[in-house]
Structure 1
Amino acid sequence: MLRLLKGEIVYYQGVKYTVTKVLRDMKYLQIRDAKTGLPQRVAICDVTSNDLVNNIPDAKYERGFDAFTSEELEKAEIRFKIIQPFLGELRGNKVELVKVAKEHGYNVSTLYKWIFRYETCGHVGGLVDSEGRGGKGGKRLGDDKIEEIISESIEEVYLNSKSVNKTFDRIRMLCEDLDLQVPHISTIRRRIKGIPEYERKRRREGVNTADNQYEARPGQFPGATTPLSVVQIDHTILDIFLVDDDDREPLKRPWITVLIDVYSRMILGFYLSFDAPGAFGTGRAIAHSILPKEKFLKDLGVDGDWPCWGKMVSIHCDNAKEFRGNMLKDACLSYNIDLKFRPVRKPRYGSHIERLMGTFATALSDLDGGTKVSKEKRSHKHPEKNANLTIAEFEIWLTRYITNIYHLQIHRGIEMSPYDKWMQGIWGYNDQLGIGTPERISGMQEEIKLKLDLQPHEVRTIQPDGVSINGLTYYHDLFRPWIGIKEIGADGKKSKSKTFKFKYDPRDTSRIYWLDPTGRIYHEIKYSNPKGVSMDRWELNKIKADLKEKNIQATDEAIFKAKRENDELEKNAKKVTLDTKKKNARKKRKSTESGTQPQASTPTTKISRFKIDQKTEIKPFDELDYGKRVFK
């Protein structure tokens, strides 16, 4: 994860650099070689937080949040509830911290340690005991006393209207007096940045000033005071028909899941699919919103800027079932995202995303295949027959529309373009401080981890023949130590079989992803049958239904056999269709070349004796005066 802070260590082409400045276009940054001190200007997308050139990562997936055992998470969540008030409204309140520590039987330094670990890690996984986290290091600063000094200094200096430098000076002095390691000033800046905006403003400038800036007013969304502070998500079926990739025949209308930043109205990300909304599409849209967009734009061949990335503070959604599933709940807990549901019968809380959907509908009406036409026009204009874009081509069009039109147009709600509003929120304007560049996912491994964390999962036990998911069996030698293992109950005795979470992609049933509790990383698990055929989950369900109708047991072999038969049938059908088209084309060409087409007969009508003035412009349905008669 890249924080893009001044002084941060980054790697560019295998060489170690330090960040000196992020440029305001959010596309480039200035870095300085750690050895030679030479400066350089590079694209943000080309730097990473790890040396990927000289230390090639293992072909495995990083550990996800689901790798923690239920016992570890239960203990971590108890700790989180204890320190939660001190991450917000009670931050820096040592009197209350001492009281809470005494109530729960802990030392004050222990609570400071938990606060530090939570803020460093970013989710409750940081509160798992170090032996459970399985990572290197542990506490960065090495002494609980440093945590106490930092918290007290922020409380007594910074929150009493003193500068960051003054706060750091006091921390440095106290640490040197006690012969402790002096933390870097960027650490202090991160701690201060973690204090809620309203609390910072209230403590430093007063309640009235904070309320004037952050209190909700008519037409404003409560809490949407900075970029990524409030994000809305929703689905809709788009008002356009698309065509098939192969024969370009009309198919159907696609669904879109989209996220919008309420503060700036910038679109953070989306996911297009012909499938109805579900957990997978929701996760993909959120991942697209968090990830940088440079590679996405390059792959599509779209020339435009989309400087949106980073983890949002909260996601607001309606009460649809795909938003209330365990996948989204667990992922938001893992990444410290506050998941909030729209109050029932209060549509204004979803007005921003719904207005965006209306904007999309208006833009689509000009495209071939657009369905937003009047009843009169629809009687002779058939959108499904005029459709000419595939879903891949439409994704390019939509991305161009978002980056080059929507983001750059003046938005009436904010009286400027979403792009300009976003940049104001990042860099600040007038006396308003910006949030700075958001933390950034860097490297393929971090991207894979994010996407897997946001994929749906199934919970299963591991049997001698492997794991069965939706009628198909998967196996890997890594399963052997976990076959038939029992969980330890609260009474210390073995009870039921231990369960594991397996991530899956519904578009490809040939593999699943397992979180190994020992290595704490994702492993790719394939079919136990090496002759297995890949398919999507919808096709699998159709095959199983057909087998059931024929009274055939849906074993792995039966499913794969039916899939191969279906593929062969489709292949033959395509060949017959292609041969028929070629045959018809040959007939038409032969008819044209041999002159057998009906030819227009030579006119036999005599030319009128009346002359027409050639200078007169003749339009359809004009009256023509031929002497005595008038023709209409």
Structure 2
Amino acid sequence: MSDNSAADKDWEEAEFRARVLAELPEQLTEGDVAWAMRQLDVSRATVYRLAKQFREDARTSALLPNSSGPKPGMQPLDPAVEAIVSRLFRDFYATRRKPTKTRFWREVAADCHARGLAPPSIRRLGRWLDLKDQARLMMRREGRDKAERRHLATPGGLTATRPLDIVQIDHTRADVTVVDPVTRHPLGRPTLTVAIDVNTRMVLGFHLSLEPPSLLSVALCLTHAVMEKSHWLAARGINTDWPAQGIPRAIYVDNGAEFHARAFGLACSEYQIDLQHRPPGTPRYGGHIERLIGTMMGAVHLLPGSHFSNIFERGDLDAEAEAVMTLQELETWLALEITGSYHVRVHSALETTPAAAWAAHTDEARLRMPADLRQFLVDFLPSEQRVLQRDGFHLFHIRYWSDELRWLMGRESRKYTLKYDPRDLSRIFVLTGDGIIEARPADLTRPAITLWEHRAARRALREEGRRSVDEELIFRTIQAQRDLVDSAERQTKAMQRHKARRAHLEPRPMIDVTPEAEAKKALPAPETKRNALKDHPGFEVEEWYDDD
């Protein structure tokens, strides 16, 4: 290979590095670093080094690959200068004070001038620093823990001897846009919450939602993981097996707010589940779930509407315009992918399939199953504490009542735990010493609403300057907002039908196009009777032709 072709290849590599590093945010997360490592095919330390170089010198040439061995023209330092550099490196630069390279160079230059020596340039000093052991240098400057996380090998930190000994749960935004089941308009990327058994690598359960990660999504995912799934699969027309079920002995999660919720911790204690939070800065303890999520997203990239992993893979593809799958269809597709593909493929770490590993190691008699699946879900739902008043419980500015609450009247005045499902505020669950009491809004004519509708209505009322908000006003506002959305959808569909009916009136290009025809086509078309009527108020929508 000639020197010119080698230089061209190095420049192309530098351009690619610049494009990847330009996508990284100012504050790097573990996910950002992992993505850059995959794109650039370099180590974690190299990603940080390249990112630092690119921020200090935003030129592509700063990212040219380094050739091994001494740099061309680089001569050893003068022994006297070498002694000064080594002393200041040991006593000044490689210390917990962490001076910058520029300050280090100034100190070296000052000592060299004092002794009548020519100081090295800052770039030459930087090349001298690059030859040092970066792991040991970082250990001396920032401590052993951070150096180990950055530089030292950290093989897997979790092992499980039996199924359900350790279960990992995590969230991710799916790399695909879903559409509305009625209008087929794009709705956005859903959140996938998934649970995996570390011992057998079986997917225990998952949950899809258009809401951000929350305690509700964790509760629904965990309930799906625990339950027997034959009826769930049959309801979706899936004829594969999904034998994974049972209450886990330990759950490993990250440090998201939903995993630190008091209700989640209490529910885990209720079912003797050992809740473990991943140590900060130790992504290896979540490696199993991260690899599973990566596998699932790799499969999702085959779907229309996929966003792929990054903008370079996506190119100029319009993911929202390509989207065709609803949330329910994506849920069924994922279930098929899990049960019909992932579970029956040989796993490299197991040297067998997850389904075979589950069958070989699971003792059905020893599986812990909840006595009441409904009770299990309720226990993991978010909760609030309220005092029972004479007219019932007041939650989210809604008054809830049940005849069974009469038996609690007159007892000691204390706060009761109220469990609620944010997807449906038409009922709450009151936890008592004798079991669960289901309470409904005192006004049974109230429609079912979601917590997100409730919050939107509260925001709308606050923007109007209303400080005192009552239950009646909230429900009227929600109904008005629903009517507005329904009206907009009807108008959108009607206008689309109206445009389709007028399609035959659009001018069509002639087969035999001549200059005279082109000039004639450029003239304004005469107004037809229909065109003249299109702005008439009575011509807005031909309702008698509407199907719905």
Q: Structure 1 length as normaliser, TM-score?
A: 0.55
User: Given the alignment of the two structures, is residue 265 of structure 1 paired with residue 201 of structure 2, yes or no?
Assistant: yes
Amino acid at match of 2:208: L
1:63-87 CA distances to partner (integer Å, 9 max, x unpaired)?
xxxxxxxxxxxxxxxxxxxxxxxxx
Amino acid at match of 2:384: E
User: Given the alignment of the two structures, is residue 482 of structure 1 paired with residue 408 of structure 2, yes or no?
Assistant: yes
Residues 496-511 of structure 1 aligned to structure 2 (within 5 Å): 497-511=413-427
User: Given the alignment of the two structures, is residue 600 of structure 1 paired with residue 511 of structure 2, yes or no?
Assistant: yes
Give the secondary structure class of the aligned counterpart of 2:439.
Answer: strand
User: C-alpha separation between the residues in 1 aligned to 2:456 and 2:222?
Assistant: 29
User: C-alpha separation between the residues in 2 aligned to 1:512 and 1:362?
Assistant: 39
What's 1:512 paired with? 428
Amino acid at match of 2:367: P
User: Given the alignment of the two structures, is residue 530 of structure 1 paired with residue 441 of structure 2, yes or no?
Assistant: no
What's 1:292 paired with? 228
C-alpha contact 1:235 1:257 (8 A) present in aligned 2: yes
1:281-305 CA distances to partner (integer Å, 9 max, x unpaired)?
1111111111011011001111211
1:569-615 CA distances to partner (integer Å, 9 max, x unpaired)?
22222221222111111111x438xxx633311799xxxxxxxxxxx
User: C-alpha separation between the residues in 2 aligned to 1:478 and 1:460?
Assistant: 17
Note closer, same or farther for the CA distance 1:376–1:450 as it changes in structure 2 (3 Å cut).
closer
Residues 81-96 of structure 1 aligned to structure 2 (within 5 Å): none
User: C-alpha separation between the residues in 1 aligned to 2:229 and 2:370?
Assistant: 11
What's 1:334 paired with? 270
User: Given the alignment of the two structures, is residue 572 of structure 1 paired with residue 490 of structure 2, yes or no?
Assistant: no
Report how many aligned residue pairs link the two structures: 362
1:394-446 CA distances to partner (integer Å, 9 max, x unpaired)?
000000000000111111111111111111212xxxxxxx575524457xxx2
C-alpha contact 1:304 1:404 (8 A) present in aligned 2: yes
C-alpha contact 2:156 2:284 (8 A) present in aligned 1: no
User: C-alpha separation between the residues in 2 aligned to 1:368 and 1:419?
Assistant: 29
Among 305, 309, 315, the residue aligned to 1:369:
305
Amino acid at match of 1:345: G
Note closer, same or farther for the CA distance 1:251–1:330 as it changes in structure 2 (3 Å cut).
same
User: C-alpha separation between the residues in 1 aligned to 2:454 and 2:264?
Assistant: 25
Residues 268-279 of structure 1 aligned to structure 2 (within 5 Å): 268-279=204-215
Amino acid at match of 1:371: H
Amino acid at match of 1:400: L
C-alpha contact 2:393 2:399 (8 A) present in aligned 1: yes
What's 1:107 paired with? none
Give the secondary structure class of the aligned counterpart of 2:510.
Answer: coil
Note closer, same or farther for the CA distance 1:403–1:584 as it changes in structure 2 (3 Å cut).
same
Give the secondary structure class of the aligned counterpart of 1:581.
Answer: helix
Q: Return the structure number with greater relative CO, CA threshold 8 A, min gap 6.
A: 1
User: Given the alignment of the two structures, is residue 462 of structure 1 paired with residue 388 of structure 2, yes or no?
Assistant: yes
Shift, 1:220, TM fit:
5.7
Amino acid at match of 2:473: A
User: Given the alignment of the two structures, is residue 319 of structure 1 paired with residue 255 of structure 2, yes or no?
Assistant: yes
Amino acid at match of 1:438: L
What's 1:127 paired with? none
Shift, 1:312, TM fit:
0.9
User: C-alpha separation between the residues in 2 aligned to 1:515 and 1:563?
Assistant: 29
Among 179, 192, 209, the residue aligned to 1:243:
179
Among 374, 378, 400, the residue aligned to 1:452:
378
Amino acid at match of 2:435: I
Note closer, same or farther for the CA distance 1:315–1:224 as it changes in structure 2 (3 Å cut).
same
Shift, 1:564, TM fit:
1.7
User: C-alpha separation between the residues in 2 aligned to 1:348 and 1:583?
Assistant: 57
Note closer, same or farther for the CA distance 1:339–1:302 as it changes in structure 2 (3 Å cut).
same
Q: Structure 2 length as normaliser, TM-score?
A: 0.63
C-alpha contact 2:175 2:309 (8 A) present in aligned 1: no
What's 1:558 paired with? 473
User: C-alpha separation between the residues in 2 aligned to 1:557 and 1:245?
Assistant: 31
Note closer, same or farther for the CA distance 1:416–1:220 as it changes in structure 2 (3 Å cut).
farther
What's 1:616 paired with? none
Q: Percent identity?
A: 33
Give the secondary structure class of the aligned counterpart of 1:525.
Answer: strand
User: C-alpha separation between the residues in 2 aligned to 1:499 and 1:228?
Assistant: 35
User: C-alpha separation between the residues in 2 aligned to 1:361 and 1:377?
Assistant: 13
User: C-alpha separation between the residues in 1 aligned to 2:401 and 2:238?
Assistant: 41
What's 2:325 paired with? 389
**More displaced, 570-579 or 314-323?**
570-579
1:20-69 CA distances to partner (integer Å, 9 max, x unpaired)?
xxxxxxxxxxxxxxxxxxxxxxxxxxxxxxxxxxxxxxxxxxxxxxxxxx
Note closer, same or farther for the CA distance 1:506–1:345 as it changes in structure 2 (3 Å cut).
same
1:109-150 CA distances to partner (integer Å, 9 max, x unpaired)?
xxxxxxxxxxxxxxxxxxxxxxxxxxxxxxxxxxxxxxxxxx
Could you list the runs of 5+ residues in structure 2 that have no partner in the other structure? 1-153, 516-548
Amino acid at match of 1:559: I
Could you list the runs of 5+ residues in structure 1 that have no partner in the other structure? 1-217, 427-433, 487-496, 605-632
What's 2:71 paired with? none
Shift, 1:477, TM fit:
2.6
Note closer, same or farther for the CA distance 1:439–1:485 as it changes in structure 2 (3 Å cut).
closer
What's 1:117 paired with? none
What's 1:252 paired with? 188
Among 355, 358, 361, the residue aligned to 1:419:
355
User: C-alpha separation between the residues in 2 aligned to 1:441 and 1:463?
Assistant: 33
Amino acid at match of 1:525: A
Note closer, same or farther for the CA distance 1:344–1:469 as it changes in structure 2 (3 Å cut).
same
Amino acid at match of 2:510: Q
User: C-alpha separation between the residues in 1 aligned to 2:310 and 2:415?
Assistant: 55
C-alpha contact 1:254 1:275 (8 A) present in aligned 2: yes
**More displaced, 389-398 or 563-572?**
563-572
Shift, 1:516, TM fit:
3.7
Note closer, same or farther for the CA distance 1:591–1:227 as it changes in structure 2 (3 Å cut).
same
C-alpha contact 2:247 2:370 (8 A) present in aligned 1: no
C-alpha contact 1:256 1:273 (8 A) present in aligned 2: yes
What's 2:399 paired with? 473
**More displaced, 406-415 or 395-404?**
406-415
Shift, 1:464, TM fit:
1.3
User: C-alpha separation between the residues in 1 aligned to 2:313 and 2:415?
Assistant: 58
C-alpha contact 1:462 1:484 (8 A) present in aligned 2: no
1:472-508 CA distances to partner (integer Å, 9 max, x unpaired)?
111223223434643xxxxxxxxxx301011111001
Note closer, same or farther for the CA distance 1:356–1:464 as it changes in structure 2 (3 Å cut).
same
Note closer, same or farther for the CA distance 1:301–1:332 as it changes in structure 2 (3 Å cut).
same
Note closer, same or farther for the CA distance 1:289–1:374 as it changes in structure 2 (3 Å cut).
closer
User: C-alpha separation between the residues in 1 aligned to 2:260 and 2:254?
Assistant: 9
User: C-alpha separation between the residues in 2 aligned to 1:437 and 1:400?
Assistant: 28
Give the secondary structure class of the aligned counterpart of 1:394.
Answer: helix
Give the secondary structure class of the aligned counterpart of 2:169.
Answer: strand
Give the secondary structure class of the aligned counterpart of 2:181.
Answer: coil
Give the secondary structure class of the aligned counterpart of 1:251.
Answer: strand
User: C-alpha separation between the residues in 2 aligned to 1:375 and 1:286?
Assistant: 33
Note closer, same or farther for the CA distance 1:574–1:384 as it changes in structure 2 (3 Å cut).
closer
**Alignment root-mean-square deviation, CA:** 2.2
